[in-house]
Amino acid sequence: MTATDFDAERRYDDDRFSAVEAFRSDRMKVVCGYFEPGQFIPVHAPSSDVAIHVRTGTGVIRDGEETHHVEAGDIVTVEADVDRGVKADPETRLEALLVTAPPPTGAEHEPVRTGLEENVFDLGTTTT
């Protein structure tokens, strides 16, 4: 059994969201995500399902063409090959547990890297 204390793992970064990997296998990846106000995971569409549980704060989660406003206690799921992204509201930190199955590949996360480098939440393209 792998056990992680979400509070003990808490790490914030002034430049970009912080992702602390709690578990990884060939079938699943579990990440504790910590977002300063306005920080985000850029929109991308990997070949994996994701479940996102918002623990604290408020923000938005992109699910295809829909944008869901979320707050503590909300759970959003997005199917594989569908655009998704997470963004904290400008006035609050956001903490979330993200579970992806199977884990995205490095190539599938290229839009994430590009979006972070360019400081753009939605690059307007889908890469799978």
pLDDT per residue over 15-30, tens digit each?
999 999 999 999 999 9
Residue 69 is predicted with a pLDDT of 98
Question: Which structural domains are found in the chain, ordered by start?
Answer: 18-118 (2.60.120.10)
pLDDT per residue over 45-63, tens digit each?
999 999 999 999 999 999 9
Phi-psi category of residue 57: left, alpha or beta, with phi > 0 → left and psi -120 to 50 → alpha: left
In the structure, what pLDDT confidence band is assigned to residue 3 with cuts at 50, 70 and 90?
confident
Residue type, 92: T
Residue 126 is predicted with a pLDDT of 43
Q: 3-state class of 42 per DSSP?
A: strand
Strand residue runs (E) in the chain: 18-24, 29-35, 40-44, 49-56, 58-63, 66-71, 75-78, 84-88, 94-101
Q: What is the mean pLDDT of the chain?
A: 93
Q: 3-state class of 73 per DSSP?
A: coil
* Cα–Cα distance for residue pair 95/121, rounded to 1 Å: 17
Residue 2 is predicted with a pLDDT of 77
Q: 3-state class of 12 per DSSP?
A: coil
pLDDT per residue over 35-49, tens digit each?
999 999 999 999 999
Residue 4 is predicted with a pLDDT of 86
pLDDT per residue over 76-119, tens digit each?
999 999 999 999 999 999 999 999 999 999 999 899 999 999 99
